[in-house]
Structure 1
Amino acid sequence: MKTLIIYASTYGFTKDCVQMLRDNLTGKTDLVNINKDKLPSLDDFDIILIGGSIYMGQIQKKIKKYCLINLDALKSKQLGFFVCCGSDQHAGDYFKNSFPEILLEKASVVENFGGEMRPGQMNFFHKFITKMVAKNEAQNNTPPMKPLTENIIKMASVINQLT
């Protein structure tokens, strides 16, 4: 079986997660950054995994739009969805806001890969937001963002069982 991972990455954390996911999958897996790469035909793939990072409660617009435009084709595939976000307690809401409900219900696996702040690569606005988030986390004793490697491995395990 052939797998396609479609993702959007702004500062590289999602890209790193997707590469780790690919490294743990068996079989042929193609990666497509929706912001940079040409999108292949879905006809060439059996399993489609889609995700991206969450900023201010939203996934990248291109990911959301892609799912809506390709809704019928995606419904005929094995699916998995992921988000990269620091708030595990809100991940369920992020999935509902990011992907069509009919696709989420059909998905074999849905995972949050965690988050990581990379301020050295951020634009001014995102640096400002990052500082506010860090301050809020400190005031509320919220655990800091971290990669959830175990969720990446879990997703790979579920997908490997499909092949």
Structure 2
Amino acid sequence: MNTLIAYSTRYGTSEKVAHLLAERLPGDVHIQNVVEAPDVEWGTVDHVIVGSSIRMGKIQDEMTAWLHINEAQLLKRPLGLYLCAGTPTPAERQRELEDAYREVLRAHAYFVEVVGNGYDFERMGFLDKAIVRMMAKQTVSSLNLDETMLDELVEAAQTSLRTRSENP
């Protein structure tokens, strides 16, 4: 099975998650930053995981456009959706997931969840650093991933891959 992990990232957290997932998933796994390389050879893709980061309550515009352009293809394949977001409450996480991914994609996906957050001060500009210091009370780079959520995503993906290979 060929898995595509498509992501967008502002400061690298979604990319780090994509690589962690790729290490844990079986088969041929291709990681692709949709901002840098939006085109996909769909004929070679059996399974898709999409991840993005949240900045100021939104995913990147390029990811929104990519999801819209490729929605029909995504709906033909097993799909996992993740976000990297620092929202503290379940209600806020749910709102961000709903804002990031359209209902049709969330309903189709076997996994839709926030998997953690990170702040890379080396990659941030002055304004973003100031906002993170004020809003998240962070002053140094950090990576706070929810290992349980990552394990659940990997397990759900493996189950989806097994089910698909048994029932092509």
Q: 1:83 touches 1:111 (CA, 8 Å); kept in 2?
A: yes
| Cα deviation digits, residues 71-104 of structure 1 (max 9, x gap) | 2221111111000011152221111111111111
1:43 Cα deviation from its structure 2 partner: 2.5
Secondary structure at the counterpart of residue 49 of structure 2? strand
Contact 1:51–1:81, Cα closer than 8 Å, also in 2: yes
Structure 2 partner of 1:155 = 153
2:35 aligned residue: 35
Aligned counterparts, 1:9-158, within 5 A: 9-37=9-37, 39-89=39-89, 90-135=92-137, 146-158=144-156
Taking the aligned partners of 1:33 and 1:88, their CA distance within structure 2 comes to 27
Q: Any gaps of 5 or more consecutive residues in structure 1? A: 138-143
TM-score, structure 1 as length reference: 0.88
In the alignment, the residues of structure 2 paired with residue 111 and residue 27 of structure 1 have an alpha-carbon distance, to the nearest angstrom, of 23
Displacement after TM superposition at 1:145 (Å): 7.6
Identity %: 25
State the SS of the aligned residue for 2:117: coil
Whichever residue aligns with residue 84 of structure 2, its letter is C
**What letter is aligned with 1:8?**
S
Letter of the 2:144 counterpart? K
Alpha carbon RMSD of aligned pairs, Å? 1.8
Aligned to 1:140: none
One-letter code of the match for 2:85?
C
Task: Check 1:18–1:88 CA distance in 2 against 1; reply closer, same or farther (3 A cut).
Answer: farther
Once residues 101 and 123 of structure 2 are traced to their aligned partners in structure 1, the CA distance between those partners, rounded to angstroms, is 27
Kept in 2: contact 1:53–1:60 (CA 8 A) = yes
CA contact (8 A) 2:7 2:33 kept: yes
SS for the counterpart of 2:136 is: helix
* Equivalent position amino acid for 1:45 in 2: V
SS of equivalent residue, structure 1 residue 119: coil
In structure 2, stretches of 5+ residues that fail to align are 162-168
Instruction: Tell me if the contact between 1:4 and 1:45 (Cα under 8 Å) persists in the aligned partners.
Output: yes
SS at match of 2:131: helix
Residues in 2 aligned to 1:20 and 1:62: alpha-carbon distance in whole angstroms: 23
Inter-partner Cα distance in structure 2 for 1:43 and 1:99? 23
Worse overlay, 104-113 or 34-43: 34-43
Aligned residues of 1:51 and 1:63 also touching (Cα < 8 A): no
